[in-house]
């Protein structure tokens, strides 16, 4: 069983790949996910580590490398479901294809991507505020949830159509490169695709390299917000999961906590059915996590996942 770590943890603290990867290797990790914040200088220095076999890159988190000079990298710098994107030169598709090119070049088999959002952020954010106030089990929360989902339903059609069109153009390019595009679940109602839409996409593109990437923390927040049942999500997509982002959540929405260190609400037994599969496990801690805490968390996860 191999657990990788996202370079999101330490890429901001290192100018070059050598020191970044030495720190990661010292903790026992030999596989990384290249986070969207990984710099071009670090990427240039990474290649000798890959060539020597000292580091493997299992996945690349879009958008890496960043293709907009002077703009801070972000996982939602572009969107595959934004109907306005075509008016701006179809930048989301171009960025997604570049990620596939890069992943193939460095031997990564998966690109993890946020597909985009339906523009109901104000209403989705209101749910989070109510949950933070401890009102998730109240009629007021239920009313806001139904209102938010209703607003989303009215606006989602054109965004889902755009996502279909983007995937129709993008996925053949991934197939040519032998790379899988894995769409990640996001914690809030405005995320595209939701569980139903993701299932539809997988059916529609069942002969193409499209998969689902399950973020445990995001799934747990969706559970806390009563959007979806966390266990049911993992079970329902079991055959289509390319990988997991692993972190814990302090109720209701404080995510990226280290498993087995800070305490939280995620049931890591959800990962056990995938231990002997090709599904990737990527620890995605907060940037504030210490090396000692990471070592403790890695031991915790190995113990949890080795139990039958």
Tally of domains within the chain: 1
pLDDT at 308 over 60: no
Pull the structure tokens for residue 50. 């890959």
pLDDT band at 85 (very low <50, low <70, confident <90, very high): confident
pLDDT at 77 over 70: yes
Q: In 107-138, where does DSSP find H-type helix?
A: 121-132
Tell which residue, 271, 199, 281, has the closest CA to residue 240: 199
Q: Among 6-20, 62-76, 150-164, 245-259, where is mean pLDDT lowest?
A: 62-76
Q: What percent of the chain has pLDDT over 70?
A: 98
- State the pLDDT at residue 86: 64
pLDDT band at 87 (very low <50, low <70, confident <90, very high): low
| Region 201-230 average pLDDT | 97
| Region 181-201 average pLDDT | 97
pLDDT at 114 over 80: yes
User: What is the Cα–Cα distance from 250 to 252, expressed in whole angstroms?
Assistant: 6
Helix (H, G, I), strand (E, B) or coil at 74: coil
pLDDT band at 69 (very low <50, low <70, confident <90, very high): confident
Q: What are phi and psi of 212, to 5 degrees?
A: -110, 135
Question: Mind giving me the DSSP string for 197-234?
Answer: HHHHHHHHTTTSSEEEEEEHHHHHHHHHTTSS-HHHHH
| Region 126-131 average pLDDT | 94
CATH code, domain carrying 289: 3.20.20.150
- State the pLDDT at residue 177: 98
Q: What is the pTM of this model?
A: 0.96
Residue 51 CA neighbour count, 13 Å, CB half: 6
| Region 31-36 average pLDDT | 97
Domain housing 29: 3-306
* Residues found in the chain: 308
| Region 190-208 average pLDDT | 98
């Amino acid at each position: 069983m191999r657990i990788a770590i996202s370079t999101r943890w330490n890429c901001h603290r290192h100018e070059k790949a050598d020191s970044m990867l030495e720190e990661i290797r010292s903790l026992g990790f030999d596989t990384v996910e290249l986070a969207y914040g990984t710099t071009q200088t670090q990427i240039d220095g990474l290649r000798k580590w890959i060539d020597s076999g000292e580091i493997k890159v299992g996945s690349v988190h879009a958008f890496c490398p960043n293709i907009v000079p002077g703009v801070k990298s972000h996982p939602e710098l572009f969107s595959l479901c934004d109907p306005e994107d075509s008016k701006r030169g179809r930048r989301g598709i171009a960025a997604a294809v570049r990620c596939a090119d890069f992943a193939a070049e460095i031997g990564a088999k998966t690109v993890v991507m946020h597909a985009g959002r339906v523009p109901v952020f104000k209403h989705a954010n209101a749910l989070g505020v109510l949950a933070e106030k401890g009102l998730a089990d109240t009629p007021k929360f239920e009313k806001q949830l139904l209102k938010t989902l209703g607003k989303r339903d009215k606006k989602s059609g054109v965004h889902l159509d755009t996502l279909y069109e983007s995937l129709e153009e993008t996925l053949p390019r991934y197939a040519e490169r032998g790379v899988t595009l894995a769409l990640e679940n996001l914690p809030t109602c405005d995320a595209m695709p939701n569980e139903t839409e993701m299932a539809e996409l997988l059916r529609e593109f069942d002969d193409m390299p499209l998969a689902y990437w399950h973020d445990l923390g995001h799934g747990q927040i969706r559970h806390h917000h009563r959007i979806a049942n966390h266990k049911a999500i993992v079970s329902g997509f079991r055959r289509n999961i390319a990988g997991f982002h692993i972190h814990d959540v302090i109720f209701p929405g404080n995510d990226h906590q280290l498993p087995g260190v800070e305490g939280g609400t995620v049931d890591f037994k959800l990962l056990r059915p995938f231990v002997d599969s090709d599904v990737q496990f990527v620890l995605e801690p907060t940037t504030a996590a210490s090396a000692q805490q990471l070592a403790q968390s890695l031991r915790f996860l190995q113990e949890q996942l080795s139990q039958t």
